[in-house]
Each structure stands twice: as C-alpha cells, then as structure tokens.
Amino acid sequence: MLVLGIDTSCDDTAAGVLRAPREILSNEVATQYDLHAAFGGVVPEIASRAHTERVTLVVERALKEAGVSLGEIDAIAVTNRPGLIGSLMVGVAAAKSLAIAADIPLVGVHHIEAHCVAALAEHDDLDYPFLALVASGGHTALYHCKDPGTIEVLGQTIDDAAGECFDKVAKMLGLPQPGGPAVSKLAEGGNPKAVRFPRARVKDDPLAFSFSGLKTSVLYYLKGPGGKREQPDREDLEISYADVAASFEQAVVDVLVDRSLKAAAQLGVTELVVGGGVAANRRLRSDLAEGAPQGLNIRFPSMALCADNGAMIALRGAEVLQRGLTDTLDLDVSATGEGPPLP
Ligand code: KG4
Ligand code: ZN
C-alpha cells in the first residue's frame, strides 16, 4: 500500500510517500522561516496563504521523488489536528481534492501521534509498546504508545512548549528564528554550569512540564539585578551570551531527561522514542543516551523525521488505515486536537 502524507499544521508545507508499513519513498518540505522572520513568530494568515501557494507543488515533488504517479497512490493521509486552523484547512482541502481525483480513501491524522511514531520508519526492530517524548514548538508531552490504537498522554506542559521556549530565548539573545538550532549552536561554545536556571516541577503532576518560569529567569538574568538594564546588554554581562545559551539549554534538557526517565521507570518500558523539532538537539541526544539505565533503548529519528514532515503523517495514516478506519469527505479540522473521537 502506497500512502501520500500531507502536513500543513503550522509553518511547514510537507508531503511524503510511504510504502506501508514503514518504507519512506520521499519526504519533501517547504519551510516558511523567511516569511515570518520579521514578525518574531509564525503569523497564521501568512502561513495559510503560503500553504495555498505551495501545497500542490510540494505534493508534486513528493510524488516525483518517490517515482510514482497519483494514480498509483492507495490512500491519502493528512494532518487535521492539532495546529493552526487556517493552515490545517489548506492541507485538508488539498487532500480531499486528491482523494476525489484519484478515488482513494482519505484519513485524518493527529500531528503529535505522528511525531510519536515517526521513529518506526528508521528502526526496523522498534515496536509497540513504547514511551514517546514529543518536544516541538507547539507541544511538549510524554505519551504511552501501547499499540497503534492506544496512544495515551502521561504528562504535558502546563504553559510553554520546549521549542517555544528556545525560540523566545533566541529572540532575547538576538538570534534568528527558529531559535532552537541557533541557541544550540551558540551553546556549543558556552559553559552549561555558568548560571543555574530553574528546573520547574509541577505540583501533584510528576510527569508534567513547565517552561515559562525558565524563560522569565533568562530574561531577568539578561536585564540584570533589579531589572536595571532596559535592554538586555551584552556588554554588561559578567558571562558571555554563549554561557547563557548553554545554561538555558542545559536546564531544558535536564527537565526533558528527568521526566522521560521517570516515566520509563514507572511504565517499565524498554523503548523510549523521541520526536518533534527539539529532538534534533544534540545535548538532549547525548544526555538521554548517557542517562538511560541499562535495558532502555533510546530511539531518535533522523533530523528530517524529527521536524514536521509528510512521511510521518503517511506512516501514522497507514497505521490508522490498517485498523480498517477511514474518514469521509466531511473531515473537519481541530486546533487543539480534541473533539469527537477520530480514528
Ligand atoms: O516539530 P517542529 O518542527 O514544529 C512544530 O510542530 O512545532 O518543531 C519546531 C521547534 C522550534 O521551536 C525549534 O526552535 C525547535 O523545534 N528546534 C530545536 C532544535 N531544532 C529545532 N530546539 C532545540 N534544539 C534544536 N537543535
Ligand atoms: Zn510538529
């Protein structure tokens, strides 16, 4: 079965072709960083317009790269939740048109569930049940993936997502967006122990995350004692921006590692899968690998599969189809991912 996966949930227009269950034939992405750069964050209206311009071209590229025609595709999978409503609508409308044109089934996919299972495409020996840490610009949560039909949230952020926090700190440090790679690169030359930024715990919820206090701490640190510095001023700091970046990064990574290993011990699982844009972070990768107890395998997808992409949507769609479920042409979108139960 060949599945075409489409994702337009945020600011990347993505499409990929998968030979079910796990073989990726293509994975094409058109990013929009340049369009949103001047605004310091994703502008929903601009994102949906750009998706409208690009989605058909990206799908065409994905088919070409896979060496297949639309007529050879057996099903279309599309992210319909969660995400920016206008952006989701563009992908879903495109997917419906293609499903009608090719007369093939359509299936709506939960974006975060797709991040959870992306690693399956690159690890033949990985299988359910497993624990998944998904850390992206919009989400940070731990999931117990029991089987393809049962993916349960164990704990999630009560405020900012980890990636969002990287993006905001990048802005404070005058770095470009997306902030994660920029902060991480700067951090490479810094001392992670220079400043002890807080590692927040959430009361009565040991597997939940909170990053807004950390972000504020970095801001206050940059503003100086008593908030005297109007603008964060590089010259006034006792330590370098690289030290601030490294200390901040270490605080985020410590929290992600702590919760993940706690959850793994609690569930007694042998597999921990990491997904979402923040999974590209090198310190997270090395600290998790070092901190993992014997018997716990840590699975990182490649960079292309960590970030938003169409292949993971096709993979998750194939799992849903495998369970005999499809959607109809009145498939709706959901910003939060909640709503009536979907396949
Ligand atoms: O999963 P993703 O591509 O899109 C969302 O669904 O949000 O994640 C993007 C997020 C951004 O916040 C970006 O700054 C962060 O992932 N990110 C990183 C790194 N690469 C991307 N954060 C930390 N370190 C990185 N190397
Ligand atoms: Zn994502």
User: Binning pLDDT at 50, 70 and 90, where does residue 226 land?
Assistant: low
Identify which of 113, 57, 62, 67 has the alpha carbon closest to the alpha carbon of residue 90: 57
User: DSSP 3-state assignment of 271?
Assistant: strand
Q: Which residues surround ligand 2, an ion (CB under 5 A)?
A: 136, 308
Pocket lining: 275 vs ligand 1, CB cutoff 6 Å: no
Name the residue with the closest Cα to ligand 1, atom 14.
180
68-to-13, 18, 58, 92 alpha-carbon distances in Å: 20, 11, 14, 21
User: What is the per-residue pLDDT for 205?
Assistant: 95
Pocket lining: 10 vs ligand 1, CB cutoff 6 Å: yes
User: What is the per-residue pLDDT for 294?
Assistant: 94
Rounded Cα–Cα distance for residues 308 and 279 (Å): 11
User: What is the per-residue pLDDT for 33?
Assistant: 80
Across 39-64, average pLDDT: 92
Q: Can you tell me which residue has the tokens 């790269």? A: 65
User: Binning pLDDT at 50, 70 and 90, where does residue 236 land?
Assistant: low
User: What is the per-residue pLDDT for 274?
Assistant: 96
55-to-87, 99, 299 alpha-carbon distances in Å: 11, 15, 30
Name the residue with the closest Cα to ligand 1, atom 19.
180
Predicted TM-score of the model (pTM): 0.91
Rounded Cα–Cα distance for residues 125 and 160 (Å): 34
Radius of gyration for the chain, computed over Cα atoms and rounded to the nearest angstrom: 20
User: What is the per-residue pLDDT for 77?
Assistant: 98
Across 108-133, average pLDDT: 96
State whether the Cα torsion 38-42-48-54 is positive or negative. positive
140: pLDDT strictly greater than 60: yes
Ligand 1 test: best mutation among 7, 9, 166, most atoms within 8 Å of CB? 166
User: Binning pLDDT at 50, 70 and 90, where does residue 223 land?
Assistant: confident
User: Binning pLDDT at 50, 70 and 90, where does residue 231 land?
Assistant: low
Pocket lining: 7 vs ligand 1, CB cutoff 6 Å: no
User: Binning pLDDT at 50, 70 and 90, where does residue 224 land?
Assistant: confident
Superfamily of domain 127-300: ATPase, nucleotide binding domain (3.30.420.40)
- 200 beta partners: none
Q: For ligand 1, what atom is nearest to the CA of residue 282?
A: 26
Rounded Cα–Cα distance for residues 13 and 50 (Å): 8
For strand 271-275 and strand 150-156, is the pairing parallel, antiparallel, or unpaired? unpaired
- % of the chain at pLDDT higher than 70: 94
258: pLDDT strictly greater than 70: yes
User: What is the per-residue pLDDT for 176?
Assistant: 87
Pocket lining: 278 vs ligand 1, CB cutoff 6 Å: yes
Across 54-81, average pLDDT: 98
Name the residue with the closest Cα to ligand 1, atom 23.
180
Say which range, 14-28, 32-46, 94-108, 306-320, has the weakest mean pLDDT: 32-46
Pocket lining: 82 vs ligand 1, CB cutoff 6 Å: no
User: What is the per-residue pLDDT for 343?
Assistant: 47
Domain spans of the chain?
2-117+305-321, 127-300
Pocket lining: 181 vs ligand 1, CB cutoff 6 Å: yes
- 142 beta partners: 133, 155
Fold of 2-117+305-321: Nucleotidyltransferase; domain 5 (3.30.420)
User: What is the per-residue pLDDT for 291?
Assistant: 96
User: What is the per-residue pLDDT for 32?
Assistant: 85
What pLDDT digit, counting tens, does each position of 152-187 carry?
999 999 999 999 999 999 999 999 888 999 999 999
User: Binning pLDDT at 50, 70 and 90, where does residue 230 land?
Assistant: low
- Which one is predicted more confidently, 338 or 42? 42
Pocket lining: 281 vs ligand 1, CB cutoff 6 Å: yes
Average pLDDT score, the chain = 93
Ligand 1 test: best mutation among 9, 134, 278, 283, most atoms within 8 Å of CB? 278
Q: Can you tell me which residue has the tokens 């938003």? A: 308
Give 63-115 as a DSSP string.
HHHHT--GGG--EEEEEEESS-HHHHHHHHHHHHHHHHHHT--EEEEEHHHHH
Rounded Cα–Cα distance for residues 104 and 114 (Å): 21
Taking the CA of 161 as reference, the closest ligand is 1
38: pLDDT strictly greater than 80: no
Judge if 2-117+305-321 and 127-300 fold alike in CATH terms: yes
Taking the CA of 33 as reference, the closest ligand is 1
